Amino acid sequence: MRNIVKINDGWNFYKNNADVSALSGECEAVNLPHSWNAVDGQDGGNDYFRGPCVYTKKFAKADLPEGEKVYIEIRGANSSAELFVDGKSLKVHHGGYSTWRVDITDEIKEEIEIAIKVDNSANDFVYPQMADFTFYGGIYRDVYLIGVPATHFDLDYYGAPGIKVTPVMDGANANVEIEVYITDMANGDAVKYTITDKEGNIVAESTAADKKFNTVIENAHLWNGRKDPYLYSAKAEIIRDGAAIDSVGATFGCRSFKIDPELGFILNGEEYPLRGVSRHQDRWGIGNALLPEHHEEDIDLIMEVGATTIRLAHYQHDQYFYDLCDKKGLVIWAEIPYISRHLPKGRENTISQMKELIAQNYNHASIVVWGLSNEITMGGAGDPDLLENHHILNDLVHEWDKTRLTTMACVSMCGMDEPYVQIPDVVSYNHYFGWYGGDTSMNGPWFDKFHAKYPNKPIGVSEYGCEALNWHTSNPKQGDYTEEYQAYYHEELIKQLFTRKYLWATHVWNMFDFGADARAEGGENGQNHKGLVTMDRKYKKDAFYAYKAWLSDEPFVHLCGKRYIDRVEDVTKVTVYSNQPEVELFVNGESIGKKQSPEHFFYFDVENKGESKIVAKSGDLKDESVIRKVDEMNPDYVLKEKGAVLNWFDVEEKEGRYSLNDKMSDILASFWGKLWFAKIGLKIKKALSGSKTKEKSGFEVSEDMMQMMGGFTVLRLTSLMGALDIKWSKEELLAMNKELNRIRKPKKIREKKQ
Ligand code: GCB
């Protein structure tokens, strides 16, 4: 039988070392999982260490697991890695998110030293190279030694488990096929197959010299999403002379699903709306080196919000997490990090990462779609090499998995008529109308337009979201980074998206704030703050409860604005989210009324005098907060952009005139505004086309992009341009503001409600 030993503890770590035979510098003792970017990958500046590092560990022969063959299994080393035994290179692996194994048998001596060189430096052929998250370097998942007999379930095939279970529903019965992969099967060897139910009862059993076993589970107990995530277990053993010499197992679920362009997701013949969130695999202080309890906490929070689906972005996640999804009944979108920028030399890597993703995760009941790419057409959707790459991946997935569908996340400005959009079976778009550009009301109608034009193509929302930190206001505005604007944005988006049942899946970007070291937004650099929950998982933002109110059956009332205590106005708006039909609000013990809301959002006007204790009640459920009357806005509630050249509140605004705080679309509504913009536009165009890097020179400012940009204030636009290396100094910005202050707003803009 196989012997498996976890070898996470006691490694030596050498930072910034490329030569395994001449290690130099300080040696740090570390336990795995480990990332060398746990701190510098989350503190902003886009300056985290990216380079080669080496992990070493010595093993005495006696400590190795018994077996005629010994493999080392690495479940995730970002991004490229090379494994050496006593200085001899045995394998190079490209791709930081999958499992890979190396046969070390021939190198075993009385004592051996294993060295793993891991490298997260930039290159032009391993994905991801450009994306809005930190590429944490390290061996950040578990490492095992596996001892097996010479005849064993295959360990060399794309990190796969050696057992593939395919349950296909036929009426109430499940036709189950188990296929196994065996290295060096000998004459006379047989395979024993056993299927057991959740209680451990044997459902089917057979022993044959065959690598495939087919059986029927009559009246199969369905895997039915969150309602009943029932799993069966399959076990395969190699039998020689009456005894099992190796064994593997997998859990699987019996279910059918369909994606209908009108009705959305259908699970086991019933409509099952996929409404959920995306997740990145990192957290505050530890980067991507997560422990089981971190995965568990994440899944618990996702269950609490009531999500039925998760998009596991933007790469393969830990096996343990997919297991949790199977067990909890969450429906999963799994994907490879083919993201942002198509690399002409990256085709092979997309193929190997896709093969690993499917081979390693095939048995998971929770997975229903494989994602080909994310926002890959940022430089345009016409590149023939990009299109061919997608066709290859799409065909590969269909060949490797006949039971699931392909999908893709398109970038907002990608035109819906692009042939590229039609490649996968079902498609989704990342839209940020109401955050980056445009306004919230544009979301639903955009999807209606797509749906009307392509009624046979299932369309979904792969990303939408909005940043929120601990900033507060009673007048939420797009781009203000307050918890209140995020709550407003999601109220609007929920109402638009959850009432369009044709949307086959919707995924909030993101369940958790995450590390993106290049980001400098919202006053806290190094993070993307679109999470419904903070990066340390300690605080659920108000928007979290807006989703809970729509999606969860667990009765609750939530008072919004608990961190927004000091308020200036005499009458203030108090919002309650609840999945109960009626909520009553008490101020200092006195009821100010009951409200009903089929939309689950309850709004009260509350007189703000002195200090008030607010209690929201529905039956036995209650929640409390405090508000306090103040004369001036509490400065702690107001964003001060760290590192910003200019803050919006430092910009001079003149009645009836433009300023840097106006939206681009409003400026373009005026003739003089247009002229003024032409000048800036020139600077942007020049900077983009004069740029030496390819991705920038291929950059075209399209109509769609202009529409998106219209929603930004000029100030915001200039700061976002920083990411493209187009920078304005404070003096230049103030000069621009002066110019804008000279331009009169046309009547229609002056009268527009801001
Ligand atoms: C996107 C990307 C995602 C980013 C997100 C954002 O469209 O797919 O990786 O984090 O936008 O927040 O800008």
- What is the DSSP annotation of 506-573? EEES-SB-EEEEEEEETTEEEEE---SB-TTS--B-HHHHHHHHHH--S--EEES-TT--EE-SSEEE
**pLDDT-derived band at 754, boundaries 50, 70, 90:** very low
Write down the number of H helices and E strands in the chain: 14, 44
pLDDT at residue 697 in the model: 35
Gap from CA of 75 to ligand 1 centroid (Å): 26
Which pLDDT belongs to residue 689?
61
- CB of 492 within 6 A of ligand 1: the answer is no
Identify the three-state secondary structure at position 444.
helix
Three-state DSSP class for residue 406: strand
Dist. CA 745–CA 747, nearest whole Å: 6
What does the buried/exposed string (b/e) look like for 342-369 if buried means 16 or more CB atoms within 10 Å of the residue's CB? bbeebbebbbbbbbbbbbbbbbbbbbbb
Closest CA to 549 of 480, 616, 460: 616
- Neighbour tally for 669: CB within 10 Å: 17
Query: What gap in Å lies between CA 584 and CA 574, rounded to an integer?
Result: 12
Identify the pLDDT of residue 695.
Answer: 40
The single residue listed with the structure tokens 């204790």 is 613
* pLDDT tens digit sequence for 524-550: 999 999 999 999 999 999 999 999 999
pLDDT at 420 over 50: yes
In this predicted structure, what is the pLDDT of residue 688? 62
- Residue 279 CA to ligand 1 center (angstroms) comes to 12
Nearest CA to ligand 1 atom 3: 132
Cβ-Cβ contacts under 8 Å for 491 (sequence gap 6 or more): 546, 599, 601
528 lines ligand 1 (CB under 6 A): yes
Instruction: Say if ligand 1 is within 6 A of residue 98 CB.
Output: no
Weakest-pLDDT range from 285-299, 380-394, 633-647: 633-647
Give the separation between CA 522 and CA 524, rounded to whole angstroms: 6
Q: Which tokens is 194 given?
A: 């056993």
| 282-303 confidence digits (pLDDT tens) | 999 999 999 999 999 999 999 9
- For residue 338, the CA-to-ligand 1 centroid distance in Å is 13
Report residue 701's pLDDT band, with 50, 70 and 90 as the boundaries. Answer: low
Q: Which of these, 518, 422, 434, 523, lies nearest to 472 by C-alpha position?
A: 523
pLDDT for 698: 40
Which residues, including other chains, have CB under 8 Å from residue 602's CB and lie 6 or more apart?
Answer: 575, 576, 577, 578, 583, 585, 595, 596, 616
Tens digits of residue pLDDT in 333-345: 999 999 999 999 9
Q: Is any ligand 1 atom within 6 A of the Cβ of residue 521?
A: no
User: Mutation test of ligand 1: which of 312, 411, 463 has the most ligand atoms closer than 8 Å to its C-beta?
Assistant: 463
Q: Is the pLDDT reported for residue 628 higher than 50?
A: yes
CA of 238 to the centre of ligand 1 (A): 47
Quote the CA–CA distance of 716 and 708 in Å, as a whole number: 13
Least confident of 108-122, 634-648, 681-695: 681-695
Number of residues written out for the chain: 754
Average pLDDT of the segment spanning 568-589: 98
- The larger pLDDT score, comparing residue 714 to residue 456, is at 456
pLDDT the model gives residue 753 = 52
How crowded is residue 296: how many other Cβ atoms within 10 Å of its Cβ?
13
Kindly report which listed range (126-140, 226-240, 418-432, 645-659) carries the lowest average pLDDT score. 645-659
Distance CA 116, CA 157 (A): 20
Closest Cα to residue 644, out of 44, 41, 134? 44
Average pLDDT in the 680-706 region? 56
CB-CB contact of 510 with 454 (8 Å): no
Q: In this predicted structure, what is the pLDDT of residue 678?
A: 84
Peptide bond into 79 cis (omega under 30): yes
Helix H, strand E, coil C: the string for 105-130 is HHHCCCEEEEEEEEECCCCCCCCCCC
Atom 4 in ligand 1: residue holding the nearest Cα: 132
CB of residue 486 inside a 6 A radius of ligand 1? no
Instruction: Please report which confidence band the pLDDT of residue 329 belongs to, taking 50, 70 and 90 as the band edges.
Output: very high
pLDDT, position 692 = 40
Between 615 and 687, whose confidence is greater?
A: 615
pLDDT computed for residue 722 by the predictor? 67
Query: Distance between CA atoms of 192 and 736, rounded to whole angstroms?
Result: 76
Q: How many CB atoms lie within 10 A of CB 426?
A: 21
Q: 653-666, pLDDT tens digit by residue?
A: 899 999 998 888 89
Predicted confidence band at 382 (pLDDT cuts at 50, 70, 90)?
very high
Reply yes or no on whether the pLDDT at 703 is more than 70: no
Annotated catalytic residue, options 73, 82, 237, 375? 375
Task: Mark whether 262 is an active-site residue.
Answer: no
Statement: residue 608 has pLDDT above 90? yes
Q: Ligand 1 centre from 475 Cα, in Å?
A: 26
Q: Where are the alpha helices (DSSP H) in 108-223?
A: none
- pLDDT confidence of 453, banded at 50, 70, 90? very high
Percent of the chain predicted with pLDDT > 90: 85
Q: What is the pLDDT of residue 684?
A: 72
Distance CA 191, CA 214 (A): 13
**Residue partners of 242: CB distance under 8 A and separation at least 6:** none
Residue 625 in contact with ligand 1 by CB distance below 6 A: no
pTM of the entire structure?
0.91
DSSP code, position 186: P
The answer to whether the CB of 127 falls within 8 A of the CB of 353 is yes
Count Cα neighbours of 704 within 13 Å in the Cβ-side half-sphere: 15
375 lines ligand 1 (CB under 6 A): yes
**In ligand 1, which atom is closest to the CA atom of 339?**
8
Is any ligand 1 atom within 6 A of the Cβ of residue 335? no
Tokens standing for residue 206? 């057979």
How much of the chain is helix, strand and coil, in % rounded to 5? Answer: 25, 35, 40
Q: Which of 265-274, 644-653, 700-709 has the lowest mean pLDDT?
A: 700-709
pLDDT band at 30; cut points 50, 70, 90:
very high
Cα 406 to the center of its chain, rounded Å? 17
* Structure-block tokens of residue 175: 């036709």
Percent of the chain with pLDDT over 70: 95
CA distance 200 to 614: 52
pLDDT, average across residues 36-61: 97
Q: Answer whether residue 691 shows pLDDT above 60.
A: no
What is the Å distance from ligand 1's center to 132 Cα?
A: 6
- The string of pLDDT tens digits covering residues 297-323 is 999 999 999 999 999 999 999 999 999
What residue owns the CA closest to ligand 1's atom 7?
430
Residues in CB range of 542: below 8 A, 6 or more apart? 483, 484, 486, 487, 558, 560, 561, 575, 577
What is the C-alpha to C-alpha distance for residues 231 and 569, in angstroms, rounded to an integer?
A: 55
DSSP assignment of 570-634: SEEEEEEEESSSEEEEEETTEEEEEEE-TTSEEEEEEE--SEEEEEEEETTEEEEEEEEE-SS--
Is the Cβ atom of 278 under 6 angstroms away from ligand 1?
no
Query: Looking at the predicted structure, is the pLDDT value of residue 398 above 50?
Result: yes
Extract long-range pairs of 86-93: CB within 8 Å, 24+ residues apart: 86/112, 86/113, 87/20, 87/21, 87/115
Give the mean model confidence (pLDDT) for residues 471-481.
92
For residue 567, count CB atoms less than 10 angstroms from its CB and return exposed for 0-12, middle for 13-18, buried for 19 or more.
Answer: buried
| Digit-coded pLDDT (tens) for 52-104 | 999 999 999 999 999 999 999 999 999 999 999 999 999 999 999 999 999 99
pLDDT confidence bin for 476, thresholds 50/70/90: very high
